[in-house]
Amino acid sequence: MNISLKNKKALIGGSSGGIGKAIAQQLAESGASVTLMARSQDKLKNIIDKLPTDHGQSHHYLVVDFTDFKAYKKIIARYFEENSVDILVNNTQGPSAGNALEKQTEDYQQAFELLFKTVVFTTELALKKMQQNHWGRIINVASVSVKEPLSYLALSNTIRAAVVTWAKSLATDVGKDQITVNSILTGYFDTDRIAQLNAKKAEQLGIPQNDVRAEMESKVPLQRIGDPKEYGYLVAFLASDKAAYITGTQIPIDGGLLKSL
């Protein structure tokens, strides 16, 4: 099956590394012109320079800080004044780790702005042109924790669940415009985020970080941590015409980690 995204334009959040970078790479390899979003201009420039342009694409980037919603709102609104996208990948860095007893009301408000308000605001702007074109793809990077909450990720559990239920509602509303809205429930992937969480857990338990990773791998039926490239393959498929009849879904990519149906 050949996936072609030629002449499509994609906007990808959190794409200076990890899953976001892998998504950008795969969409570009499939023919899309991509615009990256993240905080580090140096990293973004470096990635842009290496993205394929075999299909005559033009790649760009936006320097944004998802943790500063007011500033982000201005930058992204300015972007959509002059640009439109066919594919929107909503992805940001995760909020700080910690259990429910460790978090205060202010922490939840900050996580709400980071994970929910940025997603909804960006999607609202992207939808205008998608509706005119009667074609669009909204893809949200979520987590398996919306189905099986992880005790050490109380903020992420809570707000990502809100994103997934919002996305389900939105899928119903924009289906008539041939716009699909799907959420990906992310399992364990080999990223800096996983390394940071493992380091914190290792420190708390007083054990080597390698032991934390080994325990994590043992919980996955496939007995390994995912390669971000594998994530990019799924997003490329969902972004293509091949997935035109898939919408309103929550698709796990977790090596079988989820125990629930």
β 9-12/60-63 pair status: unpaired
**Paired strand residues for 10:** 34, 87
Confidence of residue 152 (pLDDT cuts 50, 70, 90): confident
Q: Note the pLDDT of residue 204.
A: 85
Given a contact cutoff of 8 angstroms between Cβ atoms, the answer to whether 235 and 251 are in contact is: no
Q: Note the pLDDT of residue 192.
A: 87
Q: Note the pLDDT of residue 194.
A: 85
Global pTM reads: 0.95
Residues of the chain with CATH 3.40.50.720: 9-187+228-253
Judge whether residue 243 has pLDDT over 90.
Answer: yes
Q: What percent of the chain has pLDDT over 70?
A: 100
Average pLDDT, the chain: 96
Q: How far is CA 41 from CA 38, 65, 179, in A?
A: 8, 11, 31
Given a contact cutoff of 8 angstroms between Cβ atoms, the answer to whether 167 and 138 are in contact is: yes
Section 93-117 average pLDDT: 95
Q: Note the pLDDT of residue 202.
A: 83
Q: What is the pLDDT of residues 181-231, one digit of tens each?
A: 999 999 999 998 888 888 888 888 899 999 999 999 999 999 999 999 999
3-state secondary structure at position 138:
strand
Determine the Cα–Cα distance for residues 163 and 169; give it in Å rounded to an integer: 10
Q: Note the pLDDT of residue 205.
A: 85
Q: Which CATH number does the domain 9-187+228-253 belong to among 3.30.499.10, 3.40.50.10320, 3.40.50.720, 3.40.1260.10?
A: 3.40.50.720
